[in-house]
Amino acid sequence: MSASDHDRVRQANLSPDKIMHKLVSLAKRRGFVFPSSEIYGGLSSCFDYGPLGSEMKKNVKDLWWNSMTRKHDNIVGIDASIMMNPTVWEASGHVSSFNDPMIDDKTTKRRYRADHLIENHIEKLRKEKREEDARRVGTYYERASESEDPNKAFYDIIVAEEIKAPDTGSADWTEVRQFNLMFQCNMGALADSSGIVYLRPETAQGIFVNFHNVRESSRMRVPFGIAQIGKAFRNEIVKGNFIFRMVEFEQMEMQYFVKPGDQQEAFEAWREERFSWYTDRLGIDREKLHWYRHDKLAHYADLAYDIKFSFPFGVEEIEGIHSRTDFDLRQHQEFSGKNMEYIDQATGERYIPYVVETSAGCDRLFLALLCDAYTEDVVDGEERVMMKFSPKIAPVKAAVLPLMKKGEMGEKAARFRESLSESFPVQYDESGSIGKRYRRQDEIGTPYCFTIDHQTIEDGTVTARWRDTATQERIDMTKAGEFLGAKLA
């Protein structure tokens, strides 16, 4: 049985709810993720990263940043502001089109996505083996989506099919209305519409509006890319599944500018590179990753694929790869009155570049990494929970565990920890039995435990225990940094 088969067997015994429950509890107990402002009862879909979570998230972001900007000498990074001139969002189409069709239940005052209600209804018909009904409603739904007035058409389907609210069974529906997902706030002293600014719903626009600034200051030539990591905000109505869908989240986006006509080739190359980043760099199980091609496209895209991950609650998107054409730069040219063309120095050609975008959600990826890593197994006759993180992203790289707190052993261990922590995040643990200390480290995914024992005093060696197999080898303590560095490369 391979290691990943073993994980699946372990996880297969647990229901999706149970796995999520265990993960949420571990995340809080060990300091990965806390509910936001918990002492006040929290805030829906908002979370805080704890000491281990913030360390691990930083590792993920660093890996992404380096794989974009260091690995490609034609990609540079920026850090744009969250609030921008509001015309940006008119030009990008977000003011007019970044909407979801919502319907309210008048009795319970709860709000739902109308399209999701219909999609779930079709799914339910399929599960009940009512294929013909599912096809019939599916055809209505397709027509409704493309009709002049999709809101009315969605409403008619919901009423005709007697679709009920999934959580309450009630069906006292309002009409369907479009609900804009952007958060609005007011800048300055006046609370009128002249001060409206938006919290950015994607980081991408900060890149588009800086196209010429970056190109000129960094002397970039097409094809080139601009990368950015930053917060984005969406007033999501459908929430849940822990940190999967949040109202405040982080994106890792890269916009790659190409000559019109070259976008297909760039799209395919980025598709391949991004997929293998998850398997080769992050060590995610290949079988848990899937491609999905969009039929319904966002207002800016002419081709879009998602990389999806098998979460315990279903197969869901973690990254989108979009061919955005010249939509954004052209729109900004029109709305700002500034020329967004690129002039090819060699040929004198002028054009507005096309864009291939890779857009990953850092928090969703974080959740995928938690789900992928969660393992229950038995070592030395004892059950344990292990987070099988790739050593590259593990928040703590090694633990130093002295068999005795005091005397020469304790002193050697303290010095050893000090020297290792110059280069690595290291934990020092001297309390409890050695078995308990191993379990504590396994549960947070620490790849290596170095134990200082009697032999260390005699010959300066320590045991190095590898988390996944619990196997141990003796190494010279002066070589431990090198040993660890090689394992993390």
User: Which residues of this chain interact with ligand GAP, rule CB under 6 A?
Assistant: 202, 204, 234, 236, 245-246, 249, 251, 253, 317-320, 357, 359-361, 363-364
Residue 234 carries which side chain, given as an amino acid letter?
A: R
Comparing CB distances to ligand GAP, the nearer of 86 and 320 is 320
Half-sphere exposure of 439 (CA within 13 A, CB side): 16
Rounded least distance, CB 324 to ligand GAP, Å: 8
Comparing CB distances to ligand GAP, the nearer of 176 and 232 is 232
Q: Look at residues 319, 318, 324 and name the one whose alpha carbon lies nearest to residue 357.
A: 324
Comparing CB distances to ligand GAP, the nearer of 235 and 419 is 235
Q: For residues 323 and 321, give the distance between their C-alpha atoms in angstroms, rounded to a whole number.
A: 7
Q: From its phi and psi, is residue 355 left (phi > 0), alpha (psi between -120 and 50) or beta? A: beta
Rounded least distance, CB 298 to ligand GAP, Å: 7
125 DSSP assignment: H
Helix, strand and coil content of the chain, in percent to the nearest 5, comes to 40, 25, 35
Rounded least distance, CB 272 to ligand GAP, Å: 18
- Cβ within 8 Å of residue 325, ≥6 positions away: 263, 300, 301, 302, 354, 355
Comparing CB distances to ligand GAP, the nearer of 241 and 461 is 241
Please provide the DSSP assignment of 391-419 as one string: TTT-S--EEEEESSSSHHHHHHHHHHHHH
Rounded least distance, CB 230 to ligand GAP, Å: 11
Residue 335 carries which side chain, given as an amino acid letter?
A: F
353 DSSP assignment: P
Alpha helices in 289-406 (DSSP H): 327-336, 362-373
Half-sphere exposure of 326 (CA within 13 A, CB side): 15
Comparing CB distances to ligand GAP, the nearer of 98 and 141 is 98
Comparing CB distances to ligand GAP, the nearer of 364 and 440 is 364
Closest residue to ligand GAP, judged by C-beta, is 361
Q: For residues 456 and 413, give the distance between their C-alpha atoms in angstroms, rounded to a whole number.
A: 9
Rounded least distance, CB 37 to ligand GAP, Å: 18
- Cβ within 8 Å of residue 332, ≥6 positions away: 88, 91, 92, 208, 209, 338, 340
**CB burial of residue 354 (10 Å; 0-12, 13-18, 19+):** buried
Rounded least distance, CB 108 to ligand GAP, Å: 23
Comparing CB distances to ligand GAP, the nearer of 236 and 377 is 236
Rounded least distance, CB 357 to ligand GAP, Å: 6
The sign one gets for the Cα dihedral 332, 334, 338, 343 is positive
Rounded least distance, CB 41 to ligand GAP, Å: 21
Q: Look at residues 456, 455, 473 and name the one whose alpha carbon lies nearest to residue 464.
A: 473
Query: Quick one: tokens of 441?
Result: 């480290």
Comparing CB distances to ligand GAP, the nearer of 183 and 424 is 183
Comparing CB distances to ligand GAP, the nearer of 18 and 58 is 58
Rounded least distance, CB 246 to ligand GAP, Å: 4
Rounded least distance, CB 249 to ligand GAP, Å: 4
Comparing CB distances to ligand GAP, the nearer of 254 and 477 is 254
Q: For residues 112 and 406, give the distance between their C-alpha atoms in angstroms, rounded to a whole number.
A: 61
